[in-house]
Amino acid sequence: MLKGFKYRIYPNQEQRIYFARTFGCTRFIYNRMLGDKIAHY
């Protein structure tokens, strides 16, 4: 049996800005590395 949990957070304005910046950087790096992988193979 598989179980999953969902969590909900309610960040304040400062935390929203931090999360947006962090996830934006993470998305950029992931896409850049994916592009390099596709170009290499």
What's the pLDDT tens digit per position in 4-41? 999 999 999 999 999 999 999 999 999 999 999 999 98
Rounded distance between C-alpha atoms, residue 27 and residue 20, angstroms = 10
Handedness of CA 18, 19, 23, 24 (dihedral sign): negative
Does residue 34 sit within a domain?
Answer: yes
In this predicted structure, what is the pLDDT of residue 41?
A: 86
Does some domain include residue 5?
no
The whole-number pLDDT of residue 7 equals 93
Q: How many domains are there within the chain?
A: 1
* Cα four-point dihedral sign 10, 15, 20, 25: negative
- pLDDT for 12 equals 97
Amino acid (1-letter code) at residue 34: L
Q: What is the pLDDT of residue 18?
A: 95
Q: Are 12 and 20 in contact (CB under 8 A)?
A: no
In a domain, 29, yes or no: yes
Domain of 29 in residue numbering reads as 10-41
How high is the pLDDT of residue 1?
83
**Exposed, middle or buried, 21 (CB in 10 Å: 0-12/13-18/19+)?**
exposed
